[in-house]
Amino acid sequence: MLVRHMDRNTDEKRREEKRREEQSDVVDELLLLLAVLGFGVMNAGNCVVEQSGGDVEVWSALSLDQARPNFFVAVHVGAGYHAPSNSHLYCKAMRRACLAAANVLSKGQGRSLDAVAAAIRVLEDDEVTNAGIGSNLTEDGHVECDASVMDGCTGAFGAVGAALGVKNPIEVATSLAKESLKGRSRLGLIPPIMLAGDGVRKWAEKRGITAAGSASEAETWLITKLAYERWKRYKNMLLKDNGDVGPSTQMSLSDADTQPMKLLANDDQPKVENLHHRTSNSLSSDLMRLAEDRVMDTVGAVCIDLAGNIAAGVSSGGISMKVKGRIGVAAMYGSGCWVTLEDSNGLPTGCSVSGAGENLIKCLAARECCIAASRSQSGPGTACEDMLCHLGQVSGQDVCDDAGLLLVQLNNTSSSEKLKVIEVVAAYTARSFGVGYFGSLMENPKATILRRPFDSKIVEISQFAAHFGHC
């Protein structure tokens, strides 16, 4: 009876902690929303926050539909399999990313390029995603990130590959894109549009972007407990597959908390003595069940600003146990993200992709999908389906089973500086695909995990589409 009583008290305590965390998340999102609507945190007195019966409600002193600049934001957290028990964590991250981008765009002069960077920065900082903090580890236990961004107004592009020592790879990619617009130096040097390895950290240091003194120092913030546990499990699987370990010495995931990694030489282990374990403080205990998740790759965003300019971006920690130095789709020109330029033939379109990088790279997936969608007479959804079918052919399958495409298309702009019609398409063949969106006519961001039927044994293309516009 005593044991049962203790278990019951523990369960009640955990439920109370979870309820408080969820309330805190709601308040944080509401403060961001107030900033988007023109109420800075300093003006939070313009609203009333009331808590009763476990619910948090907010009333603003001004109407939510007050006039503000037009914008649109769409984000994704990758294609793969997102465990249902963690859906709320992914959705929370996407809503916050949408609000961060909207906060940039709602200022009127905010550019879509900066909004994309703001949205992806939030996703990189959330350890639930495979980007920035919490990224998958390489086979030798390190973090190497990829990211890129493209501006449809200028055609500027910036990317980082196998980046070491930076907290937010998307910031360096955005910096490279902006620097490229300056043209040649007085000595005739052309600014780089892509950097790799430790060169990314050195570039960031010189330009005041958050970076560590060394790549190994950065891993104390970037490697989370969950990523480390996953790495140990996969490393053991590889050793066993290679015949280097027997059943009597194999370590299970449940043993990982109490046993050192005896199977590996010291040089093969991540530096975990001072890992930035934020799990117990910043996320609910549900995060520890993320071992159920199988998210293939990239997070991304596509944004439209007041002037109708589109920008797109992606960021990724890459696939688990990847080879050191491997550069994935998130860094490759034309593959991870793309925007059709304003003067091109067709409708302005932006695309951000996720999935098995090598196949997406060979197809120039983002570029080809954007171009086809911008010129399609049957709509962007058809173009997305065609690209997914083509990916299947490249991978030797009827349909590629691990890809997702997020596409945003703008139909018609006018001199009145109002967005007319926006179409959003999320097409995917993976088990699930997490997407979110927010527009100037919406009261709150929307986020969801799209899923194929769990019992479906046939790989098929699933699609979500929505239209937004002004009267």
- Rounded to 5°, angle at Cα 168 from 165 and 171: 115
Under 8 Å between Cβ of 436 and 444: no
- Contact indicator for 470, 441 with CB cutoff of 8 Å: yes
Q: What phi and psi values does residue 131 have, to the nearest 5 degrees?
A: -165, 140
Q: Which residue has the tokens 């970076």?
A: 211
- 53's tokens: 């019966």
Identify whether the C-beta of residue 156 lies closer than 8 Å to the C-beta of residue 181.
yes
What residues have CB less than 8 Å from 9, skipping those under 6 apart?
none
- Compute the distance between CA of residue 160 and CA of residue 173 in angstroms, rounded to an integer: 6
81 and 302 Cβ atoms separated by less than 8 Å:
no
Tokens for 182, please give them. Answer: 């300056």
- What DSSP state is assigned to residue 427? E
CA angle (335, 293, 424) in 5-degree steps: 45
On whether the CB atoms of residues 190 and 97 are closer than 8 A, the answer is: no
Q: Residue 79's closest CA among 456, 458, 447, 405? A: 405
H or E stretch at 231? helix 225-241
How far, in Å, CA of 437 to CA of 73, rounded? 5
Q: Is 430:80 a contact under the CB 8 Å cutoff? A: yes
What secondary structure letter does DSSP report for 190? P
Element (H, E) at 358: helix 357-363
Which residues are identified as catalytic?
A: 298
Q: In a 10 Å sphere around its CB, with 0-12 CB exposed, 13-18 middle and 19+ buried, how is residue 445 labelled? A: buried
